[in-house]
Amino acid sequence: MLKDKNIVLGITGSIAAYKSAELTSQLVKLGTNVTIIMTNSATHFISPLTLATLSKNKVITDFFETPSNFEVEHISLADKADILLIAPATANIIGKIAAGIADDFLTTFVLACRAPILIAPAMNERMYLNPILQENIKKLKNRGIYFIEPEVGNLACGEKGIGRLADVHKIIVVIGAILEPVTPLKGKKILITAGGTQEPIDPIRYIGNRSSGKMGYALAEVAQEFGAEVTLISAPTQLEPPVGVQTIFVETASQMRDEVLKIFPCVDIVISAAAVADFSPKEIKSQKIKKTTLPPVIELNKTPDILAELGQKKQAQILVGFAAESENLIANAKVKLKEKNLDLIVANDIKTAFGKDTTQVTVITRDGEVEELPLLSKKETARQIIKKVESL
């Protein structure tokens, strides 16, 4: 897939720069044409000669060198590039790109580049998690720049944490996915619900739950990557909806039901990842309840079971539910699958899933196929679920 592609590889001053030798060598083996741009600091970590030998190309290290031919080099290279990969990317280069700074060849090239840009950060965990860096990453993601997350493991500074450059093979797979996206769900419309609904008691209090919305948002992101047209109906979360996903914000179970029912007839697939409250206060006080008058009992009504209603109404749609359980995981999930007339249910133990970035789920189909997935990031879990949905 990558044969004859023009890949520009930007290397910056991180200890992980030595891994760019392996990356270059693998890319060349796949038949790509690799042109390398090194920042000054990168040349302290690995020699341009090593990379020139491996890439079989001249390595660009100095903006002010006399050009070998008299094209404006950063522009001519930008015209040719199919993708710009920056690996490893330091906090410094990410900050400079986010600020639009162009003070060396690589940063100048970024501004001239119309090809997709993929950034693979590598640094100490404290730097990676620093809100300034995270804001810069968010800003660049919103501008359509792709990121491949660093991995968790032993770091060069002796600490353990997130910050290791992503595995070379993973980087190559992501390049392939960007250049030739596989879009098996193209033409399909998916409705995804996410987050935990909030059922008001008075103007400031509500009954809620600990759902973070991360699973539903990851599903929306992956479904979109698979080519689907995604509508996300979200109860309150702290998350930014994925760029390009139409998102409708709701608060209560009843509002979620109204929005879901409006869209349901037009979609092919529904994934109900929201933690919908099962009860709501019978009466919502219009004024704040004072502690002196707090009633000893708050009476509750049952909320509508949205998914069960869809199960009754469904025509050709595929329905996917979640089962949040604290005991008898599989047995309870199977009952929900049947009672709500679902095609697939994702059983998750609330102890390992709620609020976390990782989860361990079991996927059960209508035909009784049970597949236990390992502990994975929610994004990877979302990928496995969407693949299962695709196979249905």
Footprint of ligand CTP (CB under 6 A): 253, 272, 274, 276, 278, 303, 305-307, 321-324, 336
> Least CB distance from residue 266 to ligand CTP, whole Å?
18
Tell me whether residue 124 or residue 303 sits nearer to ligand CTP (CB atom): 303
**Token pair belonging to 181:** 């996206």
Helix axes 105-112, 91-99, angle to 10 degrees: 50
* CA separation for the pair 325, 335 (Å, rounded): 12
Residue 204 CB coordination number (10 Å):
8
Query: Exposure pattern of 149-166 as b/e (b: 16+ CB <10 Å)?
Result: ebeeeebeeeeebbbbbb
Q: Minimum Å distance from CB 225 to ligand CTP?
A: 22
Q: Considering only CA atoms, which of 214, 172, 174 is closest in space to residue 192?
A: 214
Given the complex with ligand CTP, which of 26 and 341 has the nearer CB atom?
341
Tokens of 314: 């469904």
Provide the minimum distance between the beta carbon of 215 and ligand CTP in the complex, in angstroms, as a whole number: 11
What is the nearest approach in angstroms of ligand CTP to the Cβ of residue 240? 22
Q: How many helices (H) and strands (E) does the chain have?
A: 15, 22
Closest to ligand CTP by CB, 9 vs 346, is 346
Between the two ends of the chain, the Cα-to-Cα distance in Å is: 27
Of the candidates 15, 157, 300, 330, the residue annotated as catalytic is 157
Give the residue from 390, 355, 389, 349 showing the smallest Cα distance to 372. 349
In whole angstroms, the minimum distance from the beta carbon of 176 to ligand CTP comes to 33
- For ligand CTP, the closer CB: 264 or 322: 322
User: What CA–CA distances, in Å, run from 143 to 92, 138, 139, 244, 349?
Assistant: 18, 9, 7, 11, 36
- Would you say 305 or 380 has its CB closer to ligand CTP? 305
The DSSP secondary structure of 182-204, one letter per residue, reads --TTTT-EEEEEESB--EESSSS
User: Which of 194, 198, 273 is CA-nearest to residue 234?
Assistant: 194
> Which two tokens mark 350?
């609330």
Smallest gap from residue 303 Cβ to ligand CTP (A): 5
157 is catalytic: yes
User: Which is nearer to ligand CTP, 109 or 217 (by Cβ)?
Assistant: 217
Beta carbon nearer to ligand CTP, 258 or 305: 305
Our CB check for ligand CTP shows the closer of 149 and 278 to be: 278
Structure tokens at 336: 């929900």
CB of 375 to ligand CTP, least distance (A): 20
Element spanning 19, H or E: helix 19-29
**Cβ at position 214, least distance to ligand CTP in Å:** 15
Decide: 233 and 274 in contact? Cβ < 8 Å. yes
Beta-carbon contacts of residue 210 (< 8 Å; ≥ 6 apart): 196, 275, 354, 355
Q: Which sequence positions are flagged as catalytic?
A: 157
